[in-house]
Structure 1
Amino acid sequence: MKRLIMSVLCLIVLSGCQSAYYATMEKFGVHKREILVDRVEATKESQQASQQEFQSALERLSTLINFDGGELQSVYDQLNDDYQASLQSAQLVTSNIDKVEDVANALFNEWQDELEQYSSEKLKRASSRQLNDTQRQFERLLRSMRSSEAKMQPVLDSLQDNVLFLKHNLNAQAISAIKGEFNTLKRDISALIADMNRSIEDSNKFIEEMNATRS
């Protein structure tokens, strides 16, 4: 039975029909609120992994710039691998943020619709306040996530430029030519990691707040 459920869910996810996915999960007792918390957690973890990939690429480039003998091609190949890993991890971060935003919108729309079902004005007002508070908290989190996401592309562009330049100019002169850009890239990656850390902290706070209101 579990395998059947997982197969159905996989088909729904692959088809891209999120509303059907949420409806199916709801039938099994997993609500949008729980999915939102899970997706925020997944985004946080992908940001942490992305930080490591960017840092690894920076360290590899530093090794190449300070190269003092040995096989240049081997170090370049490792740098290219680090760039590709950074690109994939950044794409996963973006995908996860999109999923977070999608389920949050579905949750808030559902919540708003349900306000009209109350017969008690007192409970309706209380639920409405809670909805507004949760939306504000989420909007802060989403801004934080999107801010760090926006800093990834310039770093990826810079890494790609360096990798492409070295691909056909793998010599001491080419390495010397990219030294001037290294400090800028180092600064940008440091700013990106700091921004991601703020977003990760915001994610932790949001998860705590969501869990606190549920308990």
Structure 2
Amino acid sequence: MKRIILALTLLSMVAALGCSKAYYASMEKIGYDKREILADRVENAQESQEDAKEQFANALERYKSVVDFDGGELEDKYDILNGEYETSEAMADDVRDRIASVEDVADALFDEWSEEITQYSSAKLRRASQKKLTATKRRYGSLLKAMKKASSKMDPVLAAFKDQVLYLKHNLNAKAIAALEGELGTIRSDVESLIKEMEKSIAEADEFIKTLE
């Protein structure tokens, strides 16, 4: 319990400072090194992508329900679609923030690791550590590429959702619904592509975490 309280206190202090270096130093003082922080952040990014994947799939279903409109208040349909767009946008922002936090600690870890390799007096151990660093960076590179590719797939979906929300807002009539229907195929394809890339990224995260264990 005392350790948790100390951790929270240090975290609040570092948050006020807004300095990653100070944050990592504080965490190491209570027993959490950069490798552990990286593993945690990759897991958090993975969970964020899982949530986003589900949200975009749900948003697509909601979009379909609006397209299949058969009576009722069109304004209600707009509210539903707008709500899904805003939630999807928030999820996308969270995914991007999580990826940025992974990059931050990974850069710090690899810089520290590279510097410490030069401190070995044993050539054998130095080579072994360098080999491990190279392998870890290679796996991390694959992970980061997958995460960013999946993240980029969110943009066209969000743009399409926003277009439809705005169009429906300004044209609350049956013709507007017909126009939305014409875009359904493209949006469905974009969402399916997004989900596919998210799943690849999530799998890459699993593999990367294994290399840190």
Structure 2-normalised TM-score? 0.95
In the alignment, the residues of structure 2 paired with residue 37 and residue 28 of structure 1 have an alpha-carbon distance, to the nearest angstrom, of: 17
Q: Deviations over 1:22-50 (max 9, x none)?
A: 00000111000000000000000000100
* Cα shift at 1:55: 1.1
Q: Which runs of 5+ in 1 are unaligned?
A: none
Partner of 2:201: 199
Q: Which runs of 5+ in 2 are unaligned?
A: none
Partner of 2:137: 135
SS in 1 for 2:118: helix
In the alignment, the residues of structure 2 paired with residue 162 and residue 90 of structure 1 have an alpha-carbon distance, to the nearest angstrom, of: 18
In the alignment, the residues of structure 2 paired with residue 169 and residue 11 of structure 1 have an alpha-carbon distance, to the nearest angstrom, of: 50
Alignment length (residue pairs): 211
SS in 2 for 1:67: coil
Whichever residue aligns with residue 50 of structure 2, its letter is Q
Aligned pairs (5 A) from 1:28-177: 28-177=30-179
In the alignment, the residues of structure 2 paired with residue 38 and residue 203 of structure 1 have an alpha-carbon distance, to the nearest angstrom, of: 11
Whichever residue aligns with residue 178 of structure 2, its letter is S
In the alignment, the residues of structure 1 paired with residue 7 and residue 65 of structure 2 have an alpha-carbon distance, to the nearest angstrom, of: 49
* Cα shift at 1:147: 0.5
In the alignment, the residues of structure 2 paired with residue 207 and residue 13 of structure 1 have an alpha-carbon distance, to the nearest angstrom, of: 26
In the alignment, the residues of structure 1 paired with residue 121 and residue 21 of structure 2 have an alpha-carbon distance, to the nearest angstrom, of: 27
* Cα shift at 1:8: 2.8
Whichever residue aligns with residue 67 of structure 1, its letter is F
Question: Could you tell me whether the CA contact under 8 Å between 1:60 and 1:75 is conserved in 2?
Answer: no
SS in 2 for 1:117: coil
* Cα shift at 1:10: 2.5
**% identity of equivalent residues:** 47
Question: Could you tell me whether the CA contact under 8 Å between 2:168 and 2:177 is conserved in 1?
Answer: yes
